Structure 1
Amino acid sequence: MPLLDGRVAVVTGGAQGIGLAIAAAFLREGASVVLGDLNPGTALADLGTDRVRVTRCDVTSGADVEALLATAVTEFGSVDVMVNNAGITRDASMRTMREEDFDQVIAVHLKGTWHGTRHAAAIMREQGRGSIVNISSLSGKVGMAGQTNYSAAKAGIIGLTKAAAKETARFGVRVNAIQPGLIRSPMTTAMPEKVWDQKMAEIPMARAGEPGEVAAVALFLASDLSSYMTGTTLEVTGGRFM
């Protein structure tokens, strides 16, 4: 039987990169999927199945996230899996970073994950089951120069995940996180070649990861294979910064 047979998953930031790969992996394992993204683009056509719905969603808005989850309940009957993946970067040194760039990154990553975790957990606790997967980053573990905003947000997601896991465990809701390292995506391949090469030199496996490799870990955490795991953080980094 497929790992997510008959289940309903919601994925934010699902129109490209890691989010789109997660949606595709979930669909292959039997789930129905609702994607939320500021720019849905061609995601519906890319996935090509009647078990997908795509809606515009600004994760910094609690009302938008509630509407996204309501779409899943209305269209497919439940929310069994929530993946908080939406993210942006606004990199600059701390000295030159604009306050609005700090605020925006914190709002999308940390507040957006809080909205998704909070509203999904409210539905899941009534059902007596559910899995929430929050996408953090290796930057939240070690801190990256030029990313005081991003590193702070991604570290905050780990703390949020642990606190939420403690609050919701008794209701059958699990909350876990993933910390990807250098993953080949539109956001990372846009970085300067010198920066890319520097990051590659730090990876023992000597290659970047692929979105599908993060999706496989998200599938594990979403499924019953991880039924006795909550509050954990899994690194998908090729061994970088062990």
Structure 2
Amino acid sequence: MTAAQVALLGIVLLLWEVAADRYWVNPMLTSRPSQIWRTLVSMASSGSLWMHLGVTLRETLAGFAIGMALGLGVAIALWWWPALAAVLDPYLVVLNALPKIALGPIFYIWLGHTLSVYGMAVAISVVVTIVMLHAGFSEVEANQVLVMRTFGATRGQILRKVVIPSSLPTVMAALKVNIGLTLVGVIVGEFLSARAGLGYLIIYGGQVFQMQLVMTSVVILAVISALLYLAVTWAERLVSRLLHLPMRS
């Protein structure tokens, strides 16, 4: 399977290179793999690649941590106070449906060109995290909670010993979703206000019509997305083995 996937990627890259070389497509608009490689090597040797890559990764990991922590905290509060969950449910639905890019100018005015990127990253991921985790907490088997209450367990003990352990597969699924959404938020934030990062490079490359810079940044983002997803998947497998949890597909 892996060999077939690698072969498919190689065929796509070869066709792309041939199409640009023979002008089946305009290389000024699509760039080409060899030009992307040269741009990548040039940026790496000059150090600009590592600077922009470091900015995007730092923003992504910070936004991911903040979004998960905030989402987990709010989901626990909603589980703890069902009346609060009933009041906030329609607002969460609206916030989840709201196009988050509309918040970009607001974050820029409130937070400035640097912190607004973090604001976009958290805004795009946190509502989905809250909804997923609260749904997971609410689906914990009622009989398990009833048994704990019968033995005099407090609400905090039920949360620590039943609800969170039973919801770990949902938490891991939320991690997978959140890492991708956070990266999307970072790139959107960099489009709107950043002065560094891969999103900034894409916007700058489009403005000066350097498609090789745009495509190189997109390729780097694809690699980052795959690596971050694999890291979360590896963490999920590790936790599942340690706690003997079923794996989600």
Q: Which TM-score band applies after superposition, normalised by the shorter structure?
A: under 0.3
More strand by share: 1
Query: When the two structures are superposed, what TM-score results if normalisation uses the length of structure 2?
Result: 0.26
Query: When the two structures are superposed, what TM-score results if normalisation uses the length of structure 1?
Result: 0.27
Which structure has more relative contact order (CA 8 Å, sep 6+)? It is: 2
Higher alpha-carbon Rg: 2
More helix by share: 2
